[in-house]
Structure 1
């Protein structure tokens, strides 16, 4: 059957999607935007999102989702993988110079996932001053302690806990997940959202500055974590998450001198405009894999 420009079919417990372009699982899952996807020996990726465990394979324009059906694809995975967006158009918009052309070519299969905003917020609170393997382990442990068990091919996986589930966490137990000093931030966020002090759903209807400030009401959330939350949940695409390392990358590639965080944000806003988030992700992946900006 046809669905929004794709040919999709069900094969047992598997959905096969044809005509998928601009998609590389390595680029998508290893570019730093998500923490629940694990590469398998055959090159596929297994992960948990929106309470589902699924295995993802891709080859020659064909996307294969195991442990899924057509309704799952329509209701969850089409949006999650941002398959309604023409990334060839996005690439044209951000390839404004030779640096971006090289970055886009290097990470040509990146798509920005539309992740659950609650999970994204907590994941990037955990990411502050942290390394990706440790972030992944902590997010997985939080899911194992507090989330709902889901199954795929006889294996147990765990959904990321809801606001209500995580609001019941005790500090001593939460500390066992490896979140360290961030535990108090996680508990604070769960309490504020559960009690209705802050609504995460409201950010989509706000302008970007207002949405960023809204998220920064949470303890442990500065501009970088707020922008990551907005970008990787699909709430806003005109943000340019900037930490000390991204700052060094931009100084090396564009400014050729020291620049302030404010100057980098202003440059990204003026230069890339509404596509700043896409540009940042291509640059981030390109710079990280090529050790640009490394001390």
Structure 2
């Protein structure tokens, strides 16, 4: 059957999607935007998202999603993998110079996932001053302790806990997950959301500056974590998450001298406009994999 430009078919517990372009699982899952997808020996990726466990394979324009069905593809995975967006158009808009042409070529299969904003917020609170393997381990352990159990092919997986589920955590338990000094921030966020003091869905109706300031009401959330939360939840695409390392990358590639965070944000806003988030992801992945800006 046809669905929004794709040919889709269900075989047992798999959904086969044909005519998928601009998609590379390595680029999508290893570009730093998510922490729950693990590469398998056959090159596929298995992960947990939206309360489901899923295996993803891709080859020659064919996307194969295992442990799901047509209805879940339409209601969940189509949006989650941002399949409704023309990434060839995005690439044209961000390839404004030779640097971006190289970055886009290198990460040509990146798609920005539309992740749950609550999970994204906590994941990027955990990411502060942290390395990806440790972030992944902590997020997985939090899910194991507080999330609902899911089964796929006889294996147990765990959904990321809701704010209500996580609000039952104790500081001592959270410390066992490796979250370190971030434990108190996680507990504070769970309490604020569970008690209705902050409704994360409200950011959708705000402009970007308002939304960033709104998220910074949470303890442990600065501009970078707020921007990551907005970008990787598919809420705002005109943000340009900037930490110390991205700052060095921009100084090396564009400014050729020291630049303030404010100058980098202003440059990205003026230069890339509403596509700033996409540009940042291509640049981030390209620079990280090629050790640009590394010291």
Q: Structure 1-normalised TM-score?
A: 1.00
Gaps of at least 5 residues in structure 2 are none
- For 1:127-142, list aligned pairs within 5 A: 127-142=127-142
Q: 1:155 — aligned with what?
A: 155
Following superposition, the deviation at residue 244 of structure 1 comes to: 0.2
Q: Pairwise mapping of residues 21-170 of structure 1 onto structure 2 (< 5 A)? A: 21-170=21-170
Deviation at 1:177, TM superposition (A): 0.6
In the alignment, the residues of structure 2 paired with residue 24 and residue 65 of structure 1 have an alpha-carbon distance, to the nearest angstrom, of 14
**Aligned partner of residue 176 in structure 2, secondary structure:** helix
Residue of structure 1 equivalent to 2:15: 15
Give the deviation of 1:288 after TM superposition: 0.1
Moved over 2 A (4+): none
Q: Are 2:247 and 1:210 aligned?
A: no
1:235 & 1:209 partners in 2: Cα distance?
A: 12
Unaligned stretches of 5+ in structure 1? Answer: none
Q: Counterpart of 1:291?
A: 291
- Tell me the CA shift for residue 169 of structure 1: 0.7
Question: Deviation at 1:81?
Answer: 0.2
Deviation of the 1:119 alpha carbon: 0.1
CA shift for structure 1 position 221: 0.1
Describe the SS at the equivalent of 1:177: coil
Per-residue Cα deviation, 1:46-77 (whole angstroms, up to 9, x for no partner): 00000000000000000000001001100110
Structure 1, residues 220-250: CA drift from partner, whole Å, max 9, x if none? 0000000000000000000000000000000
Three-state SS of the structure 1 residue aligned to 2:234 is coil
Tell me how far apart the structure 1 counterparts of residues 198 and 94 of structure 2 sit (CA, whole Å).
34
Q: How many residues align?
A: 295
Q: Deviations over 1:125-172 (max 9, x none)?
A: 000000000000000000000000001000000000011100111111
Return the TM-score normalized by structure 2.
Answer: 1.00
**CA shift digits 1:165-218 (9 cap, x unpaired):** 001111111111110110000000000011111110000100000000000000
Matches of 1:174 and 1:139, distance apart in 2: 11
Distance 1:115 1:75 in 2: 14
Question: Following the alignment from structure 1 to structure 2, what is the Cα–Cα distance between the partners of residues 179 and 19?
Answer: 41
Secondary structure at the residue paired with 1:271?
helix
> Which residue is equivalent to 2:254?
254
RMSD: 0.3
2:48 match: secondary structure: strand
Work out the CA distance in 1 between the residues paired with 2:233 and 2:195.
Answer: 22
Q: Work out the CA distance in 1 between the residues paired with 2:163 and 2:220.
A: 17
User: Offset at 1:39?
Assistant: 0.1
The whole-number CA distance in structure 2 between the counterparts of 1:214 and 1:165 is 23
Structure-2 residue corresponding to 1:264: 264
Aligned partners of 2:168, 2:3: CA distance in 1, in Å? 41
State the alpha-carbon separation in 2 of the partners of residues 71 and 53 from structure 1. Answer: 15
After TM superposition, give the deviation of residue 40 of structure 1 in Å: 0.1
